[in-house]
Amino acid sequence: MLATGAEILWKEYQKPLMIIENGMGDFDDKAAPLILDQDRIRYLSLHLAEVFKAFDRGVNLIGYSLWTYCDIFSPSGG
């Protein structure tokens, strides 16, 4: 889906594209000694596969940025 959307934008506007702020919020058990991030790993793997698919389709994709740890802070909740 991400590759298709990027391809549509590329064909319509012929401008280089950047994908920014891509990521997945999830609830972590803060009491657990280890956070098992299998859902997040799968999510990002699938999205990166779509990025490569867009490249293969000729989309001029010049950047891809994940969320950082500080992107999930909110003014009301910290």
pLDDT in tens, 33-66: 887 788 888 999 999 999 999 999 999 999 998 8
Average pLDDT, the chain: 86
**Encoding tokens for residue 32?**
């657990």
Pull the structure tokens for residue 4.
């298709």
Tokens of 52: 């490569």
Under DSSP, is residue 31 helix (H, G, I), strand (E, B) or coil? coil
Instruction: Name the residue with tokens 């990166």.
Output: 48
Give the CA diameter of the chain.
49
Higher pLDDT, 43 or 70: 43
What is the pTM assigned to this prediction?
Answer: 0.76
